Structure 1
Amino acid sequence: MESMESCVRTKLGQLGYHIHTKPYEYIEEANRWYRNELIDDFHKRTAVTGELYEIDRMNFAKRGCADDANLCEIIDINVGEDAQNEFVHAVLENNRFDTMYRRQLERMSAAGTVAAYVRLDNATYLTNGKAINGEIKLTYCYAEDYIPLRIVNDEVVETAFSSTKLGKDGKQTTLVMFTQQGGNYRADTFVFDRSGKEIEAYWIILGDVKPFAVMQVAEVNNIRHMDGFGYPKVYGAIPTLKQIDLCHMILNGDLEKGEKFVLTNEAIVEIDKKTGDPKPRSKQWKRLFVLLGRKPIDGNGYIQEYNPKIRVEEIKKAFELCLSLFSMTFGFGSKKYVFEQNQIQTATQYIGERQDCMQELNKQREEARQYISGIVRAILWFSNTFQNTSFDLTADICIDFDDSYIEDKNTRMESMRTDAQTFSDIPEFTIRYIEERLNVSREEALKVYEGQVQEDDPEVED
């Protein structure tokens, strides 16, 4: 929400909540750079001659967010026994989770926070806070849609989400609130018309399982008034993003001025007798500088070429400095983006060589793991409650991240397999290999290992 709808703020105020709007200013500023929008007070400039011009934008905020998102890509989610696992995957697929999760990773890197909540579509809501039927759906939310209501030990335990869309009757704003009531969650939905009038409201009592999940940048948010929000990386990197655009401007300036000039003397140029000016003849003529006077240029003849120098090395060094500063402020470490062999080495390539960056990556993956696990448990709870299933809410949720950006997974798995074979008398190597290879919990890997041992060593009857 670039500016929170007044009807939303009014409704929350009536319910006793005071919402600080300062975080959304930081979020919108970060999103403007992520969207590669024109920043008037920076990209619009005035030449020494008074002429207005705009400098080009490199869109490096998007590049940094995309590289950041690559490091938390997932390739598999395992949720226990087959029927339960298949059900969860079906719900995720029906809600385009793979695509939306990838988008959320980028947007989280930019603005610091994303979220999702589980809802019932086409359900019948009763007056006693219950509902019947309905299809399990996911709603994906971004930082501008998200309103933290209560925070305990840095965990958001109550929240609200606001969205505005255009319908057949014009603009409609929806406010969804999740609050705790007697140990269980309560979901309230309010709908407002284009004038801000409340036109619909309904509520439902849920269980003790949190029906929403919030994913934030793992780095501590040190910006005031942003309690409940993750650190907006792009906002913190704006000074270095400006430097990168300035470097690009200098490179463009050198390239534009790098065209060869031809200096000529009026002795070989036809002069208009009335005006005393050279007569234009063709487009090539505009590239000629006419020097008045009859003497040759610097004694070198009547025509002389001038080839401006393009400061490639100086600009390259400036670029590398700015990219390193961006890399550090964005949480990638130093020299994440460097020029090597006429190409830019990317963040994902660099992190594979700099294992000190793995600590930051592991913290972010833990945030992603908790986010996905929260969504999955909410899906299972909704299914048990409204679709009469009996899925295990305590089942281990194993999430396998794509490490191909930072290491060759096949090589790693082959190394683990070799260790398991070489040290066959040490079960731990084999159990770890099974756990990674099948993407299962340690308990399940142990069962597979014990089953294999029993097959290899059957008991002999007396």
Structure 2
Amino acid sequence: MNIFNYFRKKGIDTVDASFYRKIEEWTSWYNSNVKQFTYYKVYSGRGTCKKCRRKSMGMAKKLSEDIADLLLNERVMITLEDEPTQEFVKKVLNDNHFLVTGNDYQERKAYTGTVAYIPYLYNALVQKDGTVSGGKIGINYVDAKNIFPVSWSNGSVTECIFTFVHTIRQKKYVQIQFHRMDENGMYVIENNVLECSKGSAEGRELVEQEWKQLKPFANLAARTETGSTNPQFVIDRLNITNNADESNPMGIAIFANSIDVLKKLDMEYDSYCNEFDLGRKRIFVAPEMLSNIDGTPAFDPEDSVFYSLPEDYDKSQTGLIKEVDMSLRVEEHSKAINDDLNYLSLKCGFGTERYRFDGTGVKTATEVISENSDMYRMLKKHEIILDDVLKQLIQIIIRLGIVTGNALDINTDIVIAFDDSIIEDKGAERQQDRQDVSMGVMRHEEYRAKWYGETVEQARQNLPEQNQVME
């Protein structure tokens, strides 16, 4: 099914379809299965071509893993000033496996450019007066190929369509979820379900009574009023300017502008592997040496090292056994791969030594920050967007919690403490902060808030001196 045919039929404008072909291309590099590159043909010299699969270093996958681990890992601390709100948000995130799934979608963000988080209510009871009681908060995670911005301003998406694919009794269905503003500026969520029938370009549109008969959509409402002027979704993207299509707010892959380097690396790595395959030792043996006196084979016929010489070979030139041991161009290949790894690392923001496999051991944090300032600036740049994304997600969770009857503070301060221990020398920085405290240029509560993941107000209350004064 072509979803864009459905959009055209409904009069909905979104990002051009050509951009989603770019997303497919980036995904193919992530999976090391690229059209017209991974598989290639080699002429055999006998009028036929042999189909070969190019070996890959999988660097697109590695880049995506690394930036995801740097941005969102177990050391990232989310602190809310109001303790009941803090506990509520923490439980919702834990129930939705945010630490694991969130890291997974940071990796997806790295190779597709964009992901989205959509909190929602389920198992809630709606009273006659419209109030909601009970219920739990879930989070839908969506990757770039299922995100279709409809309205945006200055890169911020205000209205968006998300699609969710379901297979039910060997039939494929697509849920289309449209988050838009009504005439009063309030957000509503409109749902529709399409059956991806064969031979239909846009799929068969189901009416609500039909999709209610299908288990995944039994509780799906055609329209939901959120009662909020703020969206109930969060778009997360890398902080890289989209030069693939400057007219849309979607992000691009971390390696989007390094495809040529990825190609060259895979060609070099494939050649490196072929060097060992084609350059293995071979032993040419005279025909009379192939059999023992009793006629049994002298060599294992399955052994690929031994080759039989022709019957009319020149004994004076060759001898009974001739060994061929070709030299391998290991150093040349190794240097080319390392040079391009450095170039790839530099283009993707990690500095020039991130992927240099020179056997010198693991660098300390001090060495990393002194040699990889590019990596430090790159990470801080991406954290600007992620910090805002996490705060928006938490605010939506709090709002939904209030809707379900919980006493929460929607205006509580939210502090996101990212883990920079990989690129910063935390020990040296902490020692410097201690000296600043002793000199009086840094307050005790500032120090505690920074190193204990608290807000300044919480830190002030938790200071030993403050506790003594209160007593």
TM-score, structure 1 length as denominator?
0.84
Deviates more, 1:55-64 or 1:98-107: 55-64
Map 1:345-360 → 2, pairs under 5 A: 353-360=371-378
Match of 1:438 in 2: 452
Q: Does 1:198 align with 2:206?
A: yes
3-state secondary structure, aligned to 1:71: helix
Q: Deviations over 1:217-263 (max 9, x none)?
A: 10111112651101222433322221121111111111112322224
Q: How many residues align?
A: 440
Q: From 15, 18, 36, give the equivalent of 1:22.
A: 18
Task: Tell whether the 8 Å contact from 1:337 to 1:346 is kept in structure 2 after alignment.
Answer: no
The offset of 1:380, in angstroms, is 0.5
Q: Deviations over 1:142-172 (max 9, x none)?
A: 1011111111111112212111111358322
Map 1:69-84 → 2, pairs under 5 A: 69-74=68-73, 75=75, 76-84=77-85
Q: From 179, 185, 188, give the equivalent of 2:187.
A: 185
Q: 1:172 to 1:281 in 2, by over 3 A?
A: closer
Q: Distance in 1 between matches of 2:92 and 2:6?
A: 30
Q: 1:416 to 1:68 in 2, by over 3 A?
A: same
Task: Tell whether the 8 Å contact from 2:281 to 2:305 is kept in structure 1 after alignment.
Answer: no
Match of 1:275 in 2: none
Match of 1:231 in 2: 252
Q: Does 1:393 align with 2:410?
A: yes
3-state secondary structure, aligned to 2:43: coil
3-state secondary structure, aligned to 2:36: helix
Q: From 201, 206, 212, give the equivalent of 2:233.
A: 212
Q: Distance in 2 between matches of 1:313 and 1:411?
A: 39
Match of 1:283 in 2: 302
Q: Distance in 2 between matches of 1:233 and 1:192?
A: 33
Task: Tell whether the 8 Å contact from 1:117 to 1:211 is kept in structure 2 after alignment.
Answer: yes
Q: Distance in 1 between matches of 2:10 and 2:314?
A: 86
3-state secondary structure, aligned to 1:41: coil
Q: Distance in 1 between matches of 2:66 and 2:350?
A: 10
Match of 2:200 in 1: none
Match of 1:9 in 2: 7
Task: Tell whether the 8 Å contact from 1:174 to 1:191 is kept in structure 2 after alignment.
Answer: yes
The offset of 1:114, in angstroms, is 0.7
Q: Deviations over 1:5-33 (max 9, x none)?
A: 367525xx525435521221111111122
Deviates more, 1:48-57 or 1:128-137: 128-137
Q: Does 1:61 align with 2:56?
A: no
Q: From 403, 409, 419, give the equivalent of 1:402.
A: 419
Aligned partner letter, 1:148? P
Aligned partner letter, 1:213? V
3-state secondary structure, aligned to 1:148: strand
Deviates more, 1:210-219 or 1:408-417: 408-417
Match of 1:273 in 2: none
Q: Does 1:243 align with 2:264?
A: yes
Task: Tell whether the 8 Å contact from 2:113 to 2:250 is kept in structure 1 after alignment.
Answer: yes
Q: Deviations over 1:426-451 (max 9, x none)?
A: 151533321112212334445555x7
Q: Deviations over 1:163-213 (max 9, x none)?
A: 111135832211112222323222222223344223222222321233111
Question: Root-mean-square deviation (CA), in Å?
Answer: 3.3
Deviates more, 1:343-352 or 1:179-188: 343-352
Q: 1:147 to 1:132 in 2, by over 3 A?
A: farther
Q: Distance in 1 between matches of 2:128 and 2:40?
A: 60
3-state secondary structure, aligned to 2:416: strand
Q: Distance in 2 between matches of 1:164 and 1:233?
A: 26
Match of 2:434 in 1: 417
Match of 1:303 in 2: 321
Task: Tell whether the 8 Å contact from 1:116 to 1:138 is kept in structure 2 after alignment.
Answer: yes
Q: Deviations over 1:69-92 (max 9, x none)?
A: 121124221112221100000011
Match of 2:216 in 1: none
Gapped regions of structure 2 (runs ≥ 5): 198-203, 209-221, 292-296
Aligned partner letter, 1:9? F
Deviates more, 1:141-150 or 1:339-348: 339-348
Q: Distance in 2 between matches of 1:127 and 1:387?
A: 15
3-state secondary structure, aligned to 1:42: coil
Gapped regions of structure 1 (runs ≥ 5): 271-277
Task: Tell whether the 8 Å contact from 1:170 to 1:193 is kept in structure 2 after alignment.
Answer: yes
Task: Tell whether the 8 Å contact from 1:351 to 1:358 is kept in structure 2 after alignment.
Answer: yes
Deviates more, 1:313-322 or 1:433-442: 433-442
Task: Tell whether the 8 Å contact from 2:175 to 2:193 is kept in structure 1 after alignment.
Answer: yes
Q: Distance in 1 between matches of 2:363 and 2:68?
A: 17
Q: Distance in 2 between matches of 1:349 and 1:8?
A: 54
3-state secondary structure, aligned to 2:172: strand
Q: Percent identity?
A: 23
Q: Deviations over 1:388-418 (max 9, x none)?
A: 2332222221112222322353554344335
The offset of 1:356, in angstroms, is 3.1
